[in-house]
Amino acid sequence: MTTMMRILEDLVPLNRVVCSAGYDEAVDYLLDVLPFELIEYPAADEYNGWIIPPKWDVKTAEIRRGGTVVYDGMAHPLRVIALSSSFEGVVDREELRRHLHYDHRYDDSIPFHFRQTYRSWERDWGFCVPRTFYEGLAPGEYEVLIETEESEGTLRMLELTHGGASDQTIVFGANLDHPGVANDGLAGVVVGIELFRRLVARETRFSYRLVLSQGIIGSEYYLGRQQASRRAKIMEGAFLEMLGSETQLALQASRDGRSNVEYALARALQESGAAHRTGPFESIILNDEYVWEAYGIPMASLSRFPYPEYHSSRDDLSIIREARLNEAVAVLERTVDILEASRLIVRRFEGNVCLSNPRYDLYVDVGQVAFGEVASEKQRRMRLLMDLVPTLERPVTSRALAERVGLPESEVLAYLRRWQEKDLVEIL
């Protein structure tokens, strides 16, 4: 069994709610897999209105009728709604149904009820059940018992940095929470881990970072509580999501669609021959990407979304295909190769320099139509490049620039070296 499959087999059964013993067990497990740094934020640390929920674990959960257990809430982590309050009492069928949640897509699956993890100040008790159970309830009274244990919560997340010659950092992120499921979150985690296992012995120009955190709230605390100077070194990134199912790969662009990593990912996907599709920001999936973008960090996404088993108990090891995990790792490894083969361009000026000034002599003249002057296709593309450089707000690879303007990378670099001679850009 490969490392990726072994990790999945060991961690999928855990009740990995945002703050829980199951999540902590997953963190402790992964600390023995790679030399991660552990990052923690205590319950008292409220940020931007986000409140860290209590550490929450289920001790007992069952529904009885006439003393006989008719529903065992401990049989699967999804069977009790996340952060359910404790409850003990006798209720009639109508009251019980108000606290039952079923998957409207399937008769036999259990849905993922997660909203209370983000609204810990507004909580209720409840179970997630198959539709057949909900509809098959006979009239009468039921004895309900949900016993939970709570304490102050701590957000725990993992970070691993592979240092390169430059401290300009490309991030790969994944979600470690989501109780009892395999593809949603955890498949991206194991793909990221395998990628970084392969990077360990490699010398790179860029620095790379793997961040494993809770969905949305984890990314918010990770970025918001990070020193601004350190955060500024993060160029951009890609979120790794749901990469083990049989569904095709999907590359979702960053918000402006121009990050270096997505250009590299697009090329790696084309070279691989893997079945895939592409789409603009938020057209395929909506997850932590928007949090990173809110902090000015372009964040693309590589996923296999959508897949039929999403947010249900059907998302288990049976839908994971090792070949699909390996395919995703290969694409990401090739993405790193492409990034490493390019040069990094950093703008060193503000505004628009008078490039026709003899001091610079960098102006690309496309002529004037009124005088019958017609620029060549190459001239027009070089002019695009000239106009693009003053707008570069973040470091960009020469390959990404070449693709944006439709010129060979060698010609782009030759022109930009003249800018470097004038101390207008730095080429790393």
Provide the number of structural domains found in the chain.
3
Burial class (CB in 10 A: 0-12, 13-18, 19+), 169: buried
- Pair 31, 101 in one domain: no
What is the number of alpha carbons within 13 Å of residue 295 lying toward its C-beta? 26
CA triple 324-325-330, angle to 5 deg: 95
Clarify whether residues 210 and 328 are in a common domain: yes
Are 296 and 284 contained in the same domain?
yes
- β-pairing, 344-347 vs 396-397, is antiparallel
Peptide bond connecting 54 to the previous residue in cis, omega within 30 degrees of 0: no
Q: Which of the four pLDDT bands, split at 50, 70 and 90, describes residue 226?
A: very high
Sheet order of strands, 344-347 included: 396-397, 344-347, 425-427
Indicate whether 194 and 331 sit together in one domain. Answer: yes
Q: Which of 303, 284, 301 is nearest to 292 (CA)?
A: 301
Q: For a pLDDT cut of 90, what percent of the chain falls above it?
A: 96
DSSP-derived letter for residue 54 is: P
Contact 409, 342 (CB under 8 A): yes
Residues 6+ apart with CB under 8 A from 261: 170, 236, 237, 238, 298, 300, 335, 339
- Domain boundary among the residues 96, 121, 150 is at 150
Among 95, 125, 150, the domain-final residue is 150
Percent pLDDT > 70 in the chain is: 100
Instruction: Report which of 301, 330, 307, 334 is spatially closest to residue 320, judged by C-alpha positions.
Output: 307
At 367-410, the pLDDT tens digits run 887 888 888 999 999 999 999 999 998 899 999 999 999 999 99
Residue 1 — very low, low, confident or very high, per pLDDT cuts 50/70/90? low
Q: How far is CA 177 from the centre of its chain?
A: 12
Check whether residue 302 and residue 251 sit in a common domain. Answer: yes
pLDDT value of position 374: 83
Task: State how far Cα 88 lies from the chain centre.
Answer: 38
CATH number at residue 61: 3.50.30.90
**Does the pLDDT value for residue 119 go beyond 70?**
yes
Tell me, yes or no, whether 131 and 14 share the same domain: no
Q: Residue 210, by phi and psi: left (phi above 0), alpha (psi -120 to 50) or beta?
A: beta
Q: How far is CA 11 from CA 71, 156, 276, in A?
A: 24, 16, 28
Predicted confidence at residue 368, as pLDDT, reads: 84
Angle at CA 379, nearest 5°, toward 376 and 380?
90
Q: Which pLDDT tens digit goes with each residue over 353-367?
A: 999 999 999 999 998
Q: What integer best gives the mean pLDDT of the chain?
A: 96
For 112-132, what is the mean pLDDT? Answer: 96
CATH of the domain at 317: 3.40.630.10
**pLDDT band at 326, cuts 50/70/90?**
very high
- Measuring CA to CA, which residue among 153, 317, 127 is closest to residue 221? 153
Same domain, 9 and 41: yes
User: In the predicted model, what is the mean pLDDT of residues 226-235?
Assistant: 95
The dihedral region occupied by 313, where left means phi > 0, alpha psi between -120 and 50, and beta the remainder, is alpha
Domain that holds residue 77: 55-150
Q: What is the pLDDT of residues 44-65, one digit of tens each?
A: 899 999 999 999 999 999 999 9
Which of 322, 341, 360 lies at the terminal end of a domain, its last residue?
341
* Domain shared by 132 and 215, yes or no: no
SS3 201: coil
User: pTM for this structure?
Assistant: 0.95
Instruction: Clarify whether residues 230 and 304 are in a common domain.
Output: yes
Residue 183 sits in the same domain as residue 331: yes
Contacts of residue 305, Cβ cutoff 8 Å, sequence gap at least 6: 241, 242, 247, 250, 284, 285
Q: What is the pLDDT of residue 87?
A: 98
Shared-domain flag, residues 163 and 91: no
Rounded mean pLDDT, 315-342 = 97
Q: pLDDT of 123-146, one tens digit each?
A: 999 999 999 999 999 999 999 999
Q: Which of 250, 245, 257, 161 is nearest to 209 (CA)?
A: 161
State the sign of the Cα–Cα–Cα–Cα dihedral 375, 379, 380, 383: negative
Same domain, 74 and 194: no
